[in-house]
Every structure is written in structure tokens, then in C-alpha cells.
């Protein structure tokens, strides 16, 4: 990543373990696609709904040349599951972008 990883925790007590887990997952994304320019991760715990337990919400905003990829609202009662799901969704978006770019650059076959 060209810019430092930005981690925002809202309504959650800061924890080195949470931050370390996010940094490790972001580094794996960066190894997967070295064109990532910036990565912003937001983790929050919105107000508890009367019919549901507490849920963690993870959002990831990735900037790559010419595109911005956003993973919104990966939710789970387990923070680490929510992080895993959000980073897996981000990886899938990076894979799809790479596939589209390969197709765009593919030359038509000579007839």
C-alpha cells in the first residue's frame, strides 16, 4: 500500500488484538494485489436492536488505480467473523476487477 492503513473503531474499546488482526488481513490483501494505494477499515458496533444481540459492522474502502472498491456492512456477532467476511468480500472484488481488466486488455484473435 502506498498510503498507511487507516483503522477506525467506533463505539468499540481500542484493542491491540483487533488492530493486529486488521493489519494482518490488510497485508494479505496487499500481497494479493500490490496495486492497492489505500485501505480504510471501519469497525463499529451500532446501538443494540431490541430483537437482536450486539453485532459488529465492518466496512472496507480500497483505492486502486482508476477504481474505488467498497465493502459495506459485513455484520456478525463475532468481530473476527465479521472481519473475515469483509476481507473475503474485498478479495473477491479485487479478483473481479483484475478479471475485468484482463478482458479489457485482451486483444481480439486474428481471423
- pLDDT tens track for 27-38: 999 888 888 999
Please give the Cα distance from 23 to 107 (Å, whole number). Answer: 38
Could you tell me the residue ranges of all domains in the chain?
A: 6-105
The 10 Å Cβ neighbour count of residue 84 is 16
DSSP secondary-structure letter at 15? Answer: -
- In the three-class reduction of DSSP (H, G, I as helix; E, B as strand; rest coil), residue 100 is classed as helix
- Specify the CATH class of 6-105 in words: alpha beta
Residue 30: closest CA among 2, 66, 58: 2
List the grid coordinates of 66.
Answer: 482508476
The percentage of the chain sitting over the pLDDT mark of 90, rounded to a whole number, equals 54
Confidence bin at 107 (pLDDT 50/70/90): low
Task: Tell me the pTM.
Answer: 0.84
Amino acid at each position: 500500500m502506498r498510503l498507511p492503513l487507516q483503522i477506525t473503531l467506533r463505539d468499540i474499546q481500542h484493542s491491540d488484538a483487533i488492530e493486529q488482526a486488521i493489519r494482518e488481513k490488510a497485508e494479505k490483501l496487499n500481497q494479493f494485489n500490490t496495486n492497492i494505494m489505500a485501505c480504510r477499515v471501519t469497525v463499529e458496533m451500532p446501538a443494540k436492536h431490541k430483537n437482536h444481540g450486539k453485532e459488529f459492522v465492518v466496512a472496507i474502502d480500497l483505492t486502486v488505480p482508476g477504481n474505488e472498491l467498497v465493502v459495506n456492512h459485513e455484520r456478525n456477532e463475532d468481530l473476527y467473523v465479521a472481519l473475515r467476511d469483509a476481507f473475503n468480500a474485498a478479495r473477491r472484488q479485487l479478483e473481479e476487477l483484475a478479471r475485468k481488466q484482463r478482458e479489457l486488455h485482451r486483444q481480439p484473435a486474428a481471423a
